[in-house]
């Protein structure tokens, strides 16, 4: 597993199709996800394998504008996290180091290989 640092956006780099409150409520349902009222959270996926994601939700005008995510995890855990943030949404990713928006699936392929067969 390689670490990542990305910004998660909605379609074409716009806001995500959810509110801060809805995303926060879904994230809080994840086991071992520690969420703060300011939008910051830490999800300890597997401490033994050092799988953890730290994030921050940013909102304005009633919409989640983007999510800052950093960490190391399996593709399956990543996909579970993204589904909690914005279920069934068309999303784009901006890798902090490389720059350039890319579709979610492209990021997953570059990060983990074939996302349909996630690593454990």
Residues 6+ apart with CB under 8 A from 69: 4, 5, 6, 7, 8, 53, 54, 55, 81
Number of alpha helices (DSSP H) and beta strands (DSSP E) in the chain: 3, 7
Residue 81 contacts residue 30 (beta carbons within 8 Å): yes
Q: Where are the domains of the chain?
A: 4-112
Ramachandran sector of residue 106 (left: φ over 0; alpha: ψ -120 to 50; beta: rest): alpha
Model pLDDT, residue 120: 39
Q: What whole-number percentage of the chain has pLDDT above 90? A: 83
Residue 72: pLDDT band by 50, 70, 90 thresholds? very high
Average pLDDT over the chain reads: 92
Q: Which two tokens stand for residue 28?
A: 């809080």
Residue 69: phi and psi, rounded to 5, are -130, 135
Model pLDDT, residue 99: 83
Residue 83 contacts residue 16 (beta carbons within 8 Å): no
- What is the domain class of 4-112 according to CATH? alpha beta
Calculate mean pLDDT across residues 20-40.
96
Report which listed range, 1-5, 78-82, 115-119, is most confident. 78-82
């Amino acid at each position: 597993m390689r670490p990542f640092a990305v910004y998660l956006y909605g379609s074409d780099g716009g806001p995500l199709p959810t509110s801060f409150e809805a995303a926060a409520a879904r994230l809080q349902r994840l086991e071992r996800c520690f969420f703060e009222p300011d939008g910051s959270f830490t999800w300890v996926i597997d401490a033994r394998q050092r799988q953890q994601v730290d994030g921050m939700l940013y909102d304005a005008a009633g919409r989640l504008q983007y999510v800052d995510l950093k960490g190391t995890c399996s593709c399956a855990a990543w996909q579970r996290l993204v589904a909690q943030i914005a279920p069934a949404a068309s999303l784009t990713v901006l890798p902090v180091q490389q720059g350039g928006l890319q579709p979610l699936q492209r990021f997953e392929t570059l990060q983990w290989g074939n996302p349909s067969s996630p690593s454990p």
